[in-house]
Amino acid sequence: MTLFPCTTRRHAFAQFLVCASGCCCGRTDKGKPAVPVSRLKTEWRARRLNPRVQLTIAECLGPCDLVNVVAVFSDDDPIWLGGLVEEQSFVELVLWATASRDASQLLPLPPTLQPHRFQRFTAPPPSPELL
Ligand code: FES
């Protein structure tokens, strides 16, 4: 039996999940930086990035303290980005997605977005009671 018995007819090679609601991301009403959701959707549509590079506007992805979180999935390790407080960072996301679509593969993370990368899953620090 194959490891992946279920298949889809929708062939994407990457998916960008952009957190835009929850407690923090995009919550300008709480003084947090905006997430340009309308602009992202417009650019994704105009550049015809779907379905090869899927855009999903998501609710909370978990690491809320790094406001404006993006997770990028492909057949490689996930890439997690946080602290995207400048609109230019979202422009870089669109350009990265476009270049990846043109290359038919998820290209390496652009250097301009590298400072936003973080490791999502880590072991918690030891509890003081255990020390
Ligand atoms: S509100 Fe965006 S990660 Fe929680």
pLDDT in tens, the chain (131 residues): 788 899 888 889 999 999 998 999 999 999 999 999 999 999 999 999 999 999 999 999 999 999 999 999 999 999 999 999 999 999 999 999 999 999 999 999 999 999 999 999 988 878 877 66
Domain membership flag for residue 5: no
Give pLDDT, residue 10: 87
Domain membership flag for residue 56: yes
Q: Ligand 1: which atom is nearest the Cα of residue 22?
A: 1
Domain count, the chain: 1
Domain membership flag for residue 107: yes
Domain membership flag for residue 129: no
Domain membership flag for residue 31: yes
Domain region containing 32: 14-122
Encoded tokens for 87: 């609109």
What pTM was computed for the model? 0.91
The preferred substitution site among 60, 68, 116 for testing ligand 1, maximizing ligand atoms within 8 Å of CB, is 60
Give pLDDT, residue 131: 63
Residue 119 falls in which region: left (phi positive, over 0), alpha (psi -120 to 50) or beta: beta
Domain membership flag for residue 4: no
Domain membership flag for residue 130: no
C-alpha dihedral (85, 87, 88, 93), degrees to nearest 10 = 90
Q: Is the CB of 115 under 6 A from ligand 1?
A: no
Give pLDDT, residue 129: 76
CATH of the domain at 70: 3.40.30.10
Give pLDDT, residue 47: 98
Domain membership flag for residue 100: yes
